[in-house]
Amino acid sequence: MPQGALHATHPMPPSPSEAIQEPLFAWEGRDKHGQSIRGEMNAGGASMVQAQLRRRGIFVTRIRQQRHLGRRGLRQRERAVFTRQLATMSRACIPLLQSLDLIARGQTNPTLMRIVQQLRAEVATGHDLSSAMARHPQSFPPVYRQLVAVGESAGVMDTTLDRLAVYEEKALALHQHIRSALMYPAVVMVVAMLVVAMILVVVVPTFEDVFVSFGAELPLPTRVVMSISEALVALWWQALGAIACTLCLVRLLVQRSAALQGALDGAALRLPVLGPLIAKALLARWTRTLSTLVGAGIPLVQALGSLASAAGNRVFAQATRQVQREVSTGRRLAQAMQDAQLFPPMVVQMAFIGEESGSLDSMMGKTADLFEAEVDAQVKGLSSLLEPVIIVVLGALIGGIVVALYLPIFQLGSIA
């Protein structure tokens, strides 16, 4: 079977933005060969769904409008699993429809099963795989769909899907490693704060009754702890409401303000300890994405445009667009990257070597491997450093509360 066996041609479907504005209908029916198929379609009404499916040669047996339009898309792990499965079947020369059918049948994840079934239904009616994926922008990012479209047009879907699978797995591994390394300190801090809150709300008020019977002035640390406890007991629900409202307001402002997003992204890169780690993780993602796009045969200027939208940080996105503009005027990639004043000299040098040798994808891939290894080592070191710091801080905090509570008792004993 030729490499282009997964390719299908059909006019492009409505854009995702147009589809989202219309109601979503789930349909079931039979194709020209009598095989049962089903899927989902955005349309103005059930009659329009039936008319469109009839033109495709599908006999509709059931149509119902979906009530829940806000279904989530695929998570990164689910997309990586799907891509690897599809790449393996493509390598084995299994036709696309059969591959999607096998993947859907073998899934226990309802979200992945639903989306794969919808992809199969679209492909069964003659759509390209990339066109079918365009109906699920939350599950398949633009870079992903672009690579699939290139693979379809060039007839090298097996190679393209394999590149995509490696790209998704590398990105997933980096993300999971950072998250798992920082999860332990975060959980410890949350539990510790809950313990401290419980001490202030439950334990400290019992000591207050004892201190009243002393009839003497309490030490300053004890008065401070008692005041915090009284405020927390009286205003805990107002405090929680204020925190929740503040978080929601900040999130809303960040989502609606591009300038604020850019400022936060820039501030993240300047953090004392986490800043260099974030920068290296972004550089690993940037070089890995560029390697995948260029290796798939996408022209450099077009690849940079796609890379800007997938940079993951507005500072990197702005620098990538600047590099794209300079490259489009005939400037070398390495020179344009150097002008952006964001990329380390090593990355610029690797880009220069890749351009000179005609192996830019390989050089960027090796650079991504290097940054991923550095991020791995730095995350391990940071995790090891945070543990003793957390222990010292929590010990000082809880120990300070205990000492403040027992100071009046110690003073009473010394007077006696």
pLDDT of residue 6: 41
Instruction: Give the pLDDT band of residue 410 (cuts 50, 70, 90).
Output: confident
Residue 176 β-bridge partners: none
pLDDT for residue 152 is more than 80: yes
Instruction: Give the pLDDT band of residue 19 (cuts 50, 70, 90).
Output: very low
Q: How far apart are CA 403 and CA 374, in angstroms?
A: 43
Selection from 13-17, 330-334, 375-379, 391-395 with the highest mean pLDDT: 330-334
Instruction: Show me where the domains of the chain are located.
Output: 3-139, 141-416
CB contact set of 264 (below 8 Å; sequence gap of 6+): 254
Fold: same for 3-139 and 141-416? yes
Query: Which CATH code for domain 3-139?
Result: 1.20.81
pLDDT of residue 89: 92
For 317-350, the pLDDT digits (tens) are: 999 999 999 999 999 999 999 999 999 999 999 9
For 158-174, the pLDDT digits (tens) are: 888 998 899 989 888 88
Residue 139: name the closest of 162, 157, 113 by CA.
113
Q: What percent of the chain has pLDDT over 70?
A: 89
Is pLDDT larger for residue 348 or for residue 40? 348
Q: What percent of the chain has pLDDT over 90?
A: 22
Per the CB < 8 A criterion, the answer to whether 3 and 44 are in contact is no
Query: Which CATH code for domain 141-416?
Result: 1.20.81.30
Averaged pLDDT score across all residues of the chain: 82
